[in-house]
Amino acid sequence: MREKIKEIKKTESPPKVIKNLYNKEEIQDFLKLYKDLPVTTHNKKQNVVKKRWLQGYNEKLEKLFFERLKKEIGDFKMDNLQDENGKDVYGLIQESYSPIGLHVDGGFELKNQIYKQSLIPLTPIGSTVIFKNRFYEMSTSFTQDPEELKKKNLSYGQNKRSSEHLKLYGNKPFDKKIHEQYLKHENIDNLKGLEVELIYEWEVGSMLIFDRSHLHCSSSVIEGKKIGIATFTKK
Ligand SMILES: [Fe+2]
């Protein structure tokens, strides 16, 4: 059970989209950073390339990012994984070729007071669906797939698999229109009881910020591939 649940709830606020935060040159710098970083994982099944945003590749960009995020959310600490030298990783850059399913990014330490997460799109086509529903345990992927649910030997940094969400939010069927338009990769029964808080249409230069307790997933709208930077914070 999460220790600081009261404190976490106190800092919650509606998702926020900040437009025109990064200019074209800065986006180019992010893309170059992505190119320069070493691959962390290439998951062929999920069709995703993941790179950790390690410090030291572009210090100007690190500073810019940190300060702009601080301006929006106040004081925070990074809560991404750490690198081999115990240094904070600034985020996770993902190049995905297929949509990511329903999950929550609660982190891997129940004692942490999770705070906000941010998303910076580096490619123009895509969207992210944030649900009103919240979950306060560790990083979890929500699924009904029995093969997925069998996975118990997870390595550090991998989401737990669970179907617990189906017991938490009631039985109201999910909105058919939204499912058809944005969430075709999800079985509609897996979305039972969920309601949409915000659909963030990716726009290069903008940034999305939302509470880490929100269930969310990417939409099924992908043209070829999309690249985004996700950063997780704690208090
Ligand atoms: Fe996520």
What's 70's domain CATH number? 2.60.120
Give yes or no for residue 42 having a pLDDT over 90: no
**pLDDT confidence band for 155 (50 / 70 / 90):** confident
Sign of CA dihedral 29, 39, 126, 144: negative
Give yes or no for residue 200 having a pLDDT over 90: yes
Give yes or no for residue 1 having a pLDDT over 80: no
Encoding tokens for residue 128? 């992210």
**What pLDDT does residue 215 have?**
98
Q: How far is the CA of 105 from the centre of ligand 1 (A)?
A: 5
Encoding tokens for residue 83? 């690198």
Q: How far is the CA of 166 from the centre of ligand 1 (A)?
A: 19
d(CA 173, CA 48): 30
Distances (CA, A) of 133 to 73, 74, 122, 191: 21, 24, 27, 11
Taking residues 202-220, report their average pLDDT. 97
Q: How far is the CA of 61 from the centre of ligand 1 (A)?
A: 22
Q: How far is the CA of 120 from the centre of ligand 1 (A)?
A: 12
Encoding tokens for residue 12? 């919650």
Q: How far is the CA of 217 from the centre of ligand 1 (A)?
A: 6
pLDDT tens per residue across span 47-80: 899 999 999 999 999 999 999 999 999 999 999 9
Domain of residue 221: give its range. 5-234
E runs forming strands in 72-178? 77-78, 92-96, 103-104, 114-121, 127-134, 140-142, 160-162
**What pLDDT does residue 84 have?**
84
State the total domains in the chain. 1
Q: How far is the CA of 10 from the centre of ligand 1 (A)?
A: 21
Give one word for 91, left, alpha or beta, with left for phi > 0 and alpha for psi -120 to 50.
Answer: left
Closest by Cα among 130, 128, 82, 23 to 232: 82
